[in-house]
Amino acid sequence: MNPARMRANLDLTGSRIVSERLAAVLAPRLGKAAAKQLLTDASTAADREGRPLGDVLARLPELHGVCTPEEVAVLLDPARYTGAAGSLVDRALKRRGTPDVTPTELTAPPEDPAEHGRAERVLDVPEFPELPAAQQPDWPHPGALAAAVAELRRAPGLVHPAECDALRARLAVVARGEALLLQGGDCAETFEAAQPDRIEATFRTLGQMAAIVSEASALPVATVGRIAGQYAKPRSKPQETRGEVTLPVYRGDLVNGHAFTAEARTPDPSRLTRAHRVSATTLELLRTFAARQNTEFWTSHEALVLDYEHPLTRITPEGPYALSGHLLWIGERTRARDGAHIDFAARIRNPIAVKLGPTTTPDEAAALLDRLDPEREPGRLTLVTRMGADAVRDVLPGVVRRLTAEGARVAWICDPMHGNTVTAPDGCKTRRLADILDEIRGWFEVHLECGTHPGGIHVELTGEHVTECLGGTYEVTTGDLPARYETACDPRLNRGQSLDLAWELSDLYAKYQLNRR
Residue 18, φ and ψ in degrees, nearest 5? -60, -45
Whether pLDDT at 132 is above 80:
yes
* Pick from 165, 104, 157: nearest CA to 327: 165
Q: What pLDDT is recorded for position 514?
A: 78
Average pLDDT over residues 214-236: 97
Confidence tier at 363 by pLDDT (50, 70, 90): very high
**Cis upstream peptide for 234 (omega within 30°):** no
**Cβ–Cβ < 8 Å for 421, 394:** no
By three-state DSSP, how is residue 99 classified?
Answer: coil
**Cβ–Cβ < 8 Å for 486, 464:** yes
DSSP sequence for 229-270: S------S-SEEEETTEEEEPP--TTT--SSSSHHHHS--TH
Please report, as a single letter, which amino acid is at residue 254: L
Whether pLDDT at 130 is above 50:
yes
Whether pLDDT at 290 is above 70:
yes
pTM of the model: 0.79
Whether pLDDT at 71 is above 80:
no
Residues of CATH 1.10.40.30 domain(s) within the chain?
3-94
Whether pLDDT at 279 is above 50:
yes
By three-state DSSP, how is residue 27 classified?
Answer: helix
By three-state DSSP, how is residue 210 classified?
Answer: helix
Residue 404, φ and ψ in degrees, nearest 5? -60, -40
Q: In angstroms, what CA-CA distances link 371 with 258, 301, 306, 336, 366? A: 36, 21, 19, 11, 9
Whether pLDDT at 517 is above 70:
no
Higher model confidence: residue 228 or residue 53? 228
Nearby residues of 394 by Cβ (< 8 Å), 6 or more positions away: none
Q: What pLDDT is recorded for position 515?
A: 77
pLDDT, one tens digit per residue, over 13-69 is 345 445 656 766 676 666 666 777 777 777 777 766 666 777 777 777 777 766 666
What would be the CATH architecture of the domain defined by 3-94?
A: Orthogonal Bundle (1.10)
Q: What pLDDT is recorded for position 28?
A: 65
Q: What pLDDT is recorded for position 170?
A: 98
Q: What pLDDT is recorded for position 265?
A: 98
Whether pLDDT at 5 is above 50:
no
pLDDT, one tens digit per residue, over 172-199 is 999 999 999 999 999 999 999 999 999 9
Whether pLDDT at 81 is above 50:
no
* Pick from 402, 326, 399, 408: nearest CA to 371: 408
By three-state DSSP, how is residue 451 classified?
Answer: coil
CB atoms within 10 A of CB 475: 11
Q: What pLDDT is recorded for position 39?
A: 74
Query: What does the alpha-carbon distance between residue 266 and residue 244 come to, in Å, rounded to a whole number?
Result: 18
pLDDT, one tens digit per residue, over 385-440 is 999 999 999 999 999 999 999 999 999 999 999 999 999 999 999 999 999 999 99
Assigned CATH for 142-516? 3.20.20.70
pLDDT, one tens digit per residue, over 90-110 is 444 444 443 333 333 233 334
Q: What pLDDT is recorded for position 80?
A: 41
Residues of CATH 3.20.20.70 domain(s) within the chain?
142-516
By three-state DSSP, how is residue 222 classified?
Answer: strand
**How much of the chain, in percent, has pLDDT values that exceed 90?**
74
Whether pLDDT at 231 is above 80:
yes
- Mean residue pLDDT of the chain comes to 87
Q: What pLDDT is recorded for position 507?
A: 96
Q: Which of 71-85, 208-222, 496-510 has the lowest mean pLDDT?
A: 71-85
